[in-house]
Structure formats: structure tokens, C-alpha cells
Amino acid sequence: MITGRTALYGVIGHPVAHSRSPEMQNAAFALLGVDAVYVALPVAPDRLDEALRGAHALGFRGLNVTVPHKQRAAALCLSLDGVAEEVGAVNTLRRGAEGWEGFNTDAPACLSLLEAAGVGKGTKALLVGAGGAARAAAWALLRAGATLRVTARRLEAAEELAGHLAQDSARVEAAQYADLADEAEAADVVVNGTSVGLHGQEARLPLRLRRGQIALDFVYGETDFARQARAAGARLVTGEQILVRQGALAFTLWTGRPAPEAAMAAAIGADAAAQGSAR
């Protein structure tokens, strides 16, 4: 039962109708008896500023942020946590008295899953993409100790991200997108930090994966990237796993309570610890 005392939460994106976050977060609220509701909020890129002001004025307690808003939303926050500052993007907002506090839970979620998969010092990583999700993945890969090559359809975007990261690490450089297949085959871990495979997108990445690699996909569902990874015998870390892990961290930021991560995974039909597959 939703009443005037029910706390409001949501996810903003464009598109966002496909999001599994409402199922996951509402299951967590129900299990722990939290009087709250979480909804999907479609926000076009040119309406983000007013949408965030409006959500704050309406009393929303917290928001998740997904494609394509993660970098712009960071610039609209009154404050950022240390990880969000380093990444340059947010995916979680918490209500402050005068505006939004920004956090990045994608990055630590990605880091924990990569380390569990075996990524460590000296791992050769290829990151495809240069947007908000890719920035979180880059942070995680470097924190795990990997050497990193970044590629994107626009070389200047990859070079900009590599240059940003190179301020803190000499273990990163840009790579030509035209060489994606060779770059992927040579890497120990390949990360899809693009929106390729997102709901309604049929495009595919021209990859060449192999057995023994780690392949991490920020997009969930049965994506072409996931199919390529399975067919090649790579160890797949899926978007569902990232969704659940970052969502659990967001839940704790909002409520101050440990998140029921297993129940959140079950709510979207995923075993977050064993399998998986953007917000």
C-alpha cells in the first residue's frame, strides 16, 4: 500500500522501460519491511536538469542514473563521493537538504566482480567504450592492477578517457577501434562498456574472444557479447551481476541497512554469485 509516508525512489534514463531495477529494489524494500517504492522514470537528455530538480522538489529520497545521463548528472550534483569524482560519472543519487549527493556504485561493483573472476596485477585488459559505464570499468580495472587499453568508435573519445586516466596511472593507453578483433584476442579480460546490446539495439561488436579470457558485459540480457563469450569458452561476468551488486550498494547508501543481495538477484531471475548479464 502506497501512502503519503511512502518513500520514493527511481531510476532515470533514456530509454528506461526495460530496466529491471524496479523489480529488484522493490523486492528488497518488501523483504525488509521498508515503506518505499521504486519506479522507472524516462528522461530525455535535454530534460535532465529539470528532471533532477523536479524529483528533488517532489521529495524523492534517491535515484539511480543510467544511459545516457551518468556524466551529465555528476555535474549537477551538489557533492560527489571520492569514487564518483575519480570516475567522472554517477549512477546513484541520494537526497541532500539542498540537492543531490552523487555516488558511483558501478565502479566498486565492477571491481569486486573482476577480482572474484581473477583479474589482478599484470592482467591485460581491453575496455570497449568511453562513456559513464566505461569510466567505472576503467577505474575498476586499474584498481585491480590491470594494464588497460581503451577503444571506442571515436578515437578521440578513447584518447580523452585514456588521457584522463593516465593522470593517475601509466598503465593505460588508447587503441584503434579498427583493430578491435585483434585487440580483444590478445587481452586477458575484455569489457563491454558500451550500450551495444541494450534493449532494442541489434548491433554487435566485431570481437574475437577465446577460451580462458574473462568477458564482462555492462548490458544485461542475452546480448551478442554474452553469446560470443559463451561460444568462445570465456568466463562471463554478466550485466545482471553488475546490476545486482551496484543496486545492493545503492540500497545501503539510501537506507543505511545491509542489502538482501540474494533476494534482489532472485527477483530478476539471476544467480548473482554464479552467473549474470545496464541498469
Report yes or no: 61 and 35 within 8 Å, Cβ to Cβ.
no
Cα(24)–Cα(27) distance, integer angstroms: 5
**Which residue in 70, 95, 135, 171 is the catalytic one?**
70
Residue 221: per-residue pLDDT:
85
Mean pLDDT of 217-239: 94
Report yes or no: 104 and 87 within 8 Å, Cβ to Cβ.
yes
Residue 198: per-residue pLDDT:
80
C-alpha cell at 144: 585491480
pTM beyond 0.85, yes or no: yes
Q: How confident is the model at residue 222 (pLDDT cuts 50, 70, 90)?
A: confident
Mean pLDDT of the chain: 93
Radius of gyration of the chain (CA): 18
Class of domain 107-237: alpha beta
Residue 202: per-residue pLDDT:
65
- State the Cα angle at 71 between 133 and 161, rounded to 5°: 65
By three-state DSSP, how is residue 256 classified?
coil
Q: What is the 8-class DSSP label of residue 234?
A: P
pLDDT (tens digit, 9 = 90+) per residue, 81-136? Answer: 999 999 999 999 999 999 999 999 999 999 999 999 999 999 999 999 999 999 99
Same fold across 7-104+246-267 and 107-237: yes
* pLDDT at residue 273 is higher than 60: no
pLDDT (tens digit, 9 = 90+) per residue, 245-268? Answer: 999 999 999 999 999 999 999 999
By three-state DSSP, how is residue 130 classified?
coil
Residue 124 annotated among the catalytic residues of the structure: no
Domain extents in the chain: 7-104+246-267, 107-237
Beta bridge partners of 217: 192
Residue 121 phi, psi dihedral angles, 5° rounding: -60, 130
Report yes or no: 36 and 29 within 8 Å, Cβ to Cβ.
yes
Beta bridge partners of 13: 42
Higher pLDDT, 137 or 171: 137
Q: Which CATH superfamily is 7-104+246-267 part of?
A: Leucine Dehydrogenase, chain A, domain 1 (3.40.50.10860)
* pLDDT at residue 165 is higher than 90: no
Mean pLDDT of 52-77: 97
C-alpha cell at 92: 546513484
Mean pLDDT of 238-243: 95
